[in-house]
Structure 1
């Protein structure tokens, strides 16, 4: 009697779906403390997943420097300007913790206040992202910042040479967003508001390369 052979499928239906392992902020920091991520491991924690950092072009780099200089002239003494430093965001709109490294941040207090901890949402009254090829991901960052309640966010769009100013964050919820969005051009002044305080303005052309 012939024995029926069991057929083993090797097609797509037989493949297991792999679910990414989510990492929380505590574990992410522990990994860094243990030196498990070296200089060549250019990754960042977004929504609980380690993802590669995007490469930045020369116009992007120049713009970040211009923004740091511009903001440094107008922020109050009890704040300071930082660039490309991590901010710890517990939870988020897509699940999982994030620790993005925004292009520019205005931080409460002094540099030494963060010797032993990462800044959190309550420490950041203003955050800036510079977008060229990274526009899609930067808009996702804005959603994360709205969820976290960051009061003011700027998105510098290098392709259109505009600056989008986001205010009135919704905080956590099903549809986190900023209630007010203004798109300003090169000829416009960009208002600088820190903790609800009007600190003057910076000409947009001074912030663009």
Structure 2
């Protein structure tokens, strides 16, 4: 039986630095280099809209990154949105680590199975305490909270009203600004 060779974060960074992965749209997931799905216009539009909205809400409190890597123990995914600690200069020489991350957002229409399955698991294993999936098919937000092991202790779905992120208990995020 053959075994798939796994890549470390260091190996992956060496490949990036050497140019081997130039012009490849990939991310490292559990030691495997995985091609990412192409981004359609609707996904890009929603991603941009949500990021701008969160930047307005969080100005001076957090940095909102769009589709940039985060570094976990054996993965370097590129979530659609990562809300991370300031100052932004923390990320001059590295990507955000789990302890830098307030919450992550994935926007899903064709990737829902992957976002609910593998991505949820790796984010929970990294102790990222809050993870939202914007489900474009059902126009809803699936919220996962309280990472424990390889899953989350809390899950709920909303289609209206507000969500208060765990890291910002005085912040009200309008659901309609996320799904419409």
Global fold match (TM > 0.5)? yes
Q: Which SS does the other structure have where 2:172 is aligned?
A: strand
> C-alpha separation between the residues in 2 aligned to 1:75 and 1:166?
20
Q: Secondary structure at the match of 1:101?
A: coil
Q: 1:41-120 residue pairs with structure 2 within 5 A?
A: 41-75=24-58, 77-90=60-73, 97-120=74-97
Match of 1:11 in 2: none
CA distance in structure 2 between the aligned counterparts of 1:128 and 1:153, rounded to whole angstroms? 6
Counterparts in 2 of 1:20 and 1:47: CA distance versus 1, 3 Å: same
Give CA-to-partner distance per residue, 1:27-62, whole Å, 9 cap, x none.
1111111122112x1211111011111112222111
Instruction: Specify which of 149, 154, 159 is matched with residue 137 of structure 2.
Output: 159
> Could you say what secondary structure the match of 1:89 adopts?
coil
Tell me the distance in 2 between the aligned counterparts of 1:133 and 1:190.
Answer: 24
TM-score (norm 1): 0.81
Shift of 1:109: 1.3
* Cα displacement (A) at 1:114: 0.7
The residue that corresponds to 1:23 in the other structure is 7
Q: TM-score, normalised by structure 2?
A: 0.93
Q: What stretches of structure 2 of length at least 5 have no aligned partner? A: none
Q: Secondary structure at the match of 2:77?
A: coil
Please identify the structure whose Cα radius of gyration is greater. 1
CA distances 1:120-179 after superposition (whole Å, capped 9, x unpaired): 100101110111110111112011111111011111110010001111110x4xxx1110
Structure 1 alignment gaps of length 5 or more: 1-16, 91-96
Measure the CA separation in 2 of the matches of 1:121 and 1:182.
Answer: 22
Distance in 1 of aligned mates of 2:165 and 2:49: 15
User: How many positions carry a matched residue from both structures?
Assistant: 179
Is structure 2 residue 156 aligned with structure 1 residue 182?
yes
Q: 1:143, 1:177 within 8 Å by CA — same for their partners in 2?
A: yes
